[in-house]
Every structure is written in C-alpha cells, then in structure tokens.
Amino acid sequence: MTHTSLVWFRRDLRLFDHAALHVALTAARSTSQAVLCVFIFDSTLLASLPRVDRRVAFIWESVRELKQALNQVGADLMVRHGDPCALIPALCDELDVATVYANRDTEPAAVERDGRIARSLSALGKDLRLFKDQVIFERDEILTQSGQMYQVFTPYRRAWLNQVNDTVLSSFAVAPHLDQLEKCAPSAMPDLRQIGFDPVDVDYLKPGMSGGETLFEDFCERMQRYHETRDFPAVKGVSYLSVHLRFGTVSIRELARTAIRIGGEGAQTWLSELIWREFYQQLLWHRPDLVTHTFKEKYDAIAFPNNRDHFSAWCAGQTGFPIVDAAQRQLNQTGFMHNRLRMITASFLVKDLLIDWRWGERYFAEKLNDFDLASNNGGWQWAASTGCDAQPYFRIFNPTTQSIRFDPEGQFIRRYCPELAHLDNRQIHAPPLSVENYPAPIVDHATQRVAALRLFKTAE
C-alpha cells in the first residue's frame, strides 16, 4: 500500500461516527490505499496557557485513549507537538500523503489556519479536505426565507427542527472500514511535561470516548426530568457533556438522535440546548467580528467604569454575594460552572459591577474546561444585553432573589463557601455582616441597578 491519506484529528477525539475518518477510509477502500492518523498539540495555541491547564490534560488523556484504540486494531495515531502550519505540509511530504482529511472548525482563527495549510498543500500538489462533523447544521445551512442569518433563537430553532432528518443525523460509520488503516507499531507519545505542562487530575471530568459514553448513559436516565432539574446547581440535572462536545469525544449526531428518540418535555428542552450551541456557531461564522465587537453596534460605545478591585473580587469569589462567590469558586476549583450560575455571575459582573463583558468573557475563556468561543461570546453578549436575542438591558438579575429561587436551601453555596455553612436557609443568601472570614457586599444591588440603567441609556 502507498500512503495516500492522512486523517488529522482536532476537536473530534473519537473512533466512531467521525466524518473525516469515514470519508478517508471509504475513499481508501476504493483505491486500495492506506490511511494514517495524526494529532498535533498546537504549540501556537498552547504557548499562551498556564503550566497547569485542565483542558490540555483532558485532551492529553483523550488522545491517549484514542491512540490505544487505534493500537488495538493494529494501527497508530502519530502524536506531534508544534505548529500545524509547518508540521502538516512537512508530514505530507515525508509520508507521501496526497490528501489530508479533517473535520471543519468554523472559529475564525481555525478558518485562517486551515486556509494557510490548504494553500501550502496546494503548492505541493496536495489537498486539504474538510467535513462537517461537530454540528448537525453549520455555516449558512439554516437561513431565513429571505436568505439571511437568524438573529433570534426561537425561529432558528423552529427552522432547525423543520430541517432535521434521518440523513443529517445518520452516523459516519468507522468500524467496518478500520482495515484500511495503515498497520504499524505504536509510536511514542510526548507526555504532558514534554509539551510544557504539569500533570493535573482530570479523572473527575471522565476524559476520552469512554468518559463521554459513561456520562451520556448516566444522563439518558435523567433526560426526561431535565426541564425540571436543569436550573438548580445543587441538583444533578444537567448532562456535564460540554467539555466532551468541545473536544468531540461524543458524537453530536448520536446525542441529537437519542434526544429525539426519547422525546417528551425533558428531552426536547435538552435538544434545544444543543440547538443553542449551533445557533451561536452559525452566528460567529456569519459575524466573525463578534470576537471583539458587540452584536448591537451601539453598545460598543458604552464606557464601563471597570473598577479593577471589583473585578479581582469577582474573579476570586469574594464579592459578598454568596451565589456569585460560590459560582466563581466552583469555576476556579473545577473549571466547570452551571449554566444558571454563568447567567447570574455574568449579569452581576456587567450590571452590578459595571465591568465590560469582555473582561468576564476573557476570564471564562481562561478557566472553563468547556471554553468554546462561539458559546462563550454568545452567552456573555446575551447576559450583557449587547448580543443578538439577548435579554433587554433593563431586565437585570437580582443575585439574591436568583439565589433564593435556584438554590433555596443554600446547598450549592454551602459546598463552595464553607464559611457560610452554619447560616440558616434564609440568611445564607444575604449573610449578616458579622460572619467571620466572609466579605461584606462590595456593592449595593439597588444602587448599581440604577447606575447600570443610566449607563446603558447613554448608548440608546
């Protein structure tokens, strides 16, 4: 066999239902040629990260599992560390690869990188072929009747549900074609230290395909109750699959198919969340300027006071608002934050502390295991009222009433703010000033609410 194709794994760390791998393997079958696999720890992305990063550890564990799965069928995953813009063309040259297969990533920086690589390969007489894999509908596949992008979620969701069918949900089979993979002995894989990181425990995130499967099986038992449980951070109501969706250790098609099959209010609500993810991805694809600008341009002009001490207190979970502090501490300690808490703490940063949403967006981007540019930007612009289909600026969350409603017994607060654990269910949401080792509120919500309304009015 001659080496003619290379599958480049990126945000798709699994060996089942994989678009690029499926196409590469089936194409190779008709030409009796072999397929090689590679993963690259991208040094240009990793360089800016701290030495301890849960996401890199999650990826490393998931890559290791993928490599082992390939080794079990007599094939291998080459694992490299460097700049893909240089490594991919060099590998193709070295291994006599004519075509590189990969799944599409529509983030602006990834589009730019893939464009560069495609041009380098083309100069060598080789091809980069990209496939839709991480969403059911991408780019401009769902448009309004006048051919415009959707700016409001509900009609987008309706159109998504009208367009979805068995064809777009069907799996890209891999198992029947695995004999097309090049047979080779397992190669060495750089350990975390060799790529510049210290090991960190990510077992609780259940990395890899096996972890994604375990979490999804567990969630399937609970999916029918999702609509009732999803808003309560102390309850195990959500799927915890976001980091797996981010790195492709689960298949979006399998998730959506299962939700449709289970049906009922819980499954439908959960499917809507998967559709939110696609809504934000298409939005960023249409409007790459959102990375730095507000969706509603007039709000770009808002002059946020940006008090640095308040920002530090918010980051550290020391604002004196227990639900906000517990949420921020959960983020700092685990890299996860429940969706309801993301909405509360984002709203608090912008509307109570009057800090530019981009500061919060950047902090989440550093800390979240599931950080995804489109969902994070969309979530922040929603909370800041600057985005498409955002909550109106005059609707401002009250952190204390949110706390009473969504953590009524303070169970979540007690877990992350142990200094408040002794308070009763009423006091825990707004502790008396005498509590030791816990700060007094750094702002007054009622006063800040008026200030936020005034600030946003300047842009109207």
Instruction: Return the number of the residue (89 or 387) whose C-beta is nearest ligand FAD.
Output: 387
All residues at 6 or more sequence positions from 135 whose CB lies less than 8 Å from its CB, including other chains: 252, 277, 278, 281
Q: For residue 41, what is the enclosing H or E element?
A: strand 34-42
Helix and strand numbers (H, E) in the chain are 20, 5
All residues at 6 or more sequence positions from 432 whose CB lies less than 8 Å from its CB, including other chains: none
Q: Is 137 in the site for ligand FAD (CB under 6 A)?
A: no
Q: Is 206 in the site for ligand FAD (CB under 6 A)?
A: no
Q: Is 68 in the site for ligand FAD (CB under 6 A)?
A: no
Q: Is 290 in the site for ligand FAD (CB under 6 A)?
A: no
Q: Which residues pair with 101 in a beta bridge?
A: 7, 129
Which residue, among 82, 92, 97, has the nearest Cα to 39 in the 3D structure? Answer: 82
* Euclidean distance between CA atoms 89 and 97, whole angstroms: 9
Tokens of 347: 């709203």
Instruction: Return the number of the residue (7 or 331) whose C-beta is nearest ligand FAD.
Output: 331
Q: Is 180 in the site for ligand FAD (CB under 6 A)?
A: no
CA 407 to chain centre: 25
Answer yes or no: are the C-beta atoms of 310 and 195 closer than 8 Å.
Answer: no
Instruction: Return the number of the residue (11 or 338) whose C-beta is nearest ligand FAD.
Output: 338
Q: Is 285 in the site for ligand FAD (CB under 6 A)?
A: no
Residue 139 Cβ vs ligand FAD, minimum distance, rounded to whole Å: 17
Which residue, among 210, 213, 270, 195, has the nearest Cα to 237 in the 3D structure? Answer: 270
Among 33, 242, 294, 319, binds ligand FAD (CB under 6 A): 242
Q: Is 383 in the site for ligand FAD (CB under 6 A)?
A: yes
> Residues 244 to 273: which contact ligand FAD by CB under 6 A?
245-246, 273
Stretch that binds ligand FAD, among 45-53, 117-125, 151-159, 340-348 (CB under 6 A): 340-348
- For tokens 């699994």, name the residue: 14
Which residue, among 69, 63, 20, has the nearest Cα to 41 in the 3D structure? Answer: 63
Length of the chain (residues): 460
Residue 278 Cβ vs ligand FAD, minimum distance, rounded to whole Å: 8
Q: Is 387 in the site for ligand FAD (CB under 6 A)?
A: no
Stretch that binds ligand FAD, among 137-145, 180-188, 236-244, 434-442 (CB under 6 A): 236-244
* Euclidean distance between CA atoms 96 and 159, whole angstroms: 44
Residue 144 Cβ vs ligand FAD, minimum distance, rounded to whole Å: 20
Query: What are φ and ψ of residue 237, in 5° steps?
Result: -115, -25
Which residue, among 304, 300, 303, 278, has the nearest Cα to 291 in the 3D structure? Answer: 300
Among 36, 40, 174, 346, binds ligand FAD (CB under 6 A): 346
Q: Is 8 in the site for ligand FAD (CB under 6 A)?
A: no
Among 8, 197, 280, 295, binds ligand FAD (CB under 6 A): 280
**Cα three-residue angle 130-134-138, rounded to 5 degrees:** 75
Residue 239 Cβ vs ligand FAD, minimum distance, rounded to whole Å: 3
Give, to the nearest 10 degrees, the angle between helix 373-383 and helix 264-286.
100
Residue 110 Cβ vs ligand FAD, minimum distance, rounded to whole Å: 15
Q: Is 238 in the site for ligand FAD (CB under 6 A)?
A: yes
Q: Is 223 in the site for ligand FAD (CB under 6 A)?
A: no
Instruction: Return the number of the residue (107 or 127) whose C-beta is nearest ligand FAD.
Output: 107
Q: Is 343 in the site for ligand FAD (CB under 6 A)?
A: yes
CA 55 to chain centre: 11
Instruction: Return the number of the residue (7 or 343) whose C-beta is nearest ligand FAD.
Output: 343
Q: Phi-psi bin for 292: left (phi > 0), alpha (psi -120 to 50), beta?
A: alpha
x-marked contacts with ligand FAD along 347-376 as a string, rule CB under 6 A: -----------------x---x-xxx--xx
* Euclidean distance between CA atoms 196 and 324, whole angstroms: 33
Q: Is 130 in the site for ligand FAD (CB under 6 A)?
A: no
Answer yes or no: are the C-beta atoms of 176 and 35 closer than 8 Å.
Answer: no
Neighbour order of strands in the sheet with 3-9: 78-82, 34-42, 3-9, 99-103, 127-131
Q: Is 239 in the site for ligand FAD (CB under 6 A)?
A: yes
Instruction: Return the number of the residue (142 or 238) whose C-beta is nearest ligand FAD.
Output: 238
Among 26, 68, 151, 339, binds ligand FAD (CB under 6 A): 339
Q: Is 379 in the site for ligand FAD (CB under 6 A)?
A: yes
Which residue, among 162, 272, 266, has the nearest Cα to 220 in the 3D structure? Answer: 266
Q: Is 215 in the site for ligand FAD (CB under 6 A)?
A: no
Stretch that binds ligand FAD, among 119-127, 151-159, 378-386, 393-401 (CB under 6 A): 378-386
User: Which residue ranges make up the site for ligand FAD (CB under 6 A)?
Assistant: 230, 238-242, 245-246, 273-274, 276-277, 280, 338-339, 342-343, 346, 364, 368, 370-372, 375-376, 378-380, 383
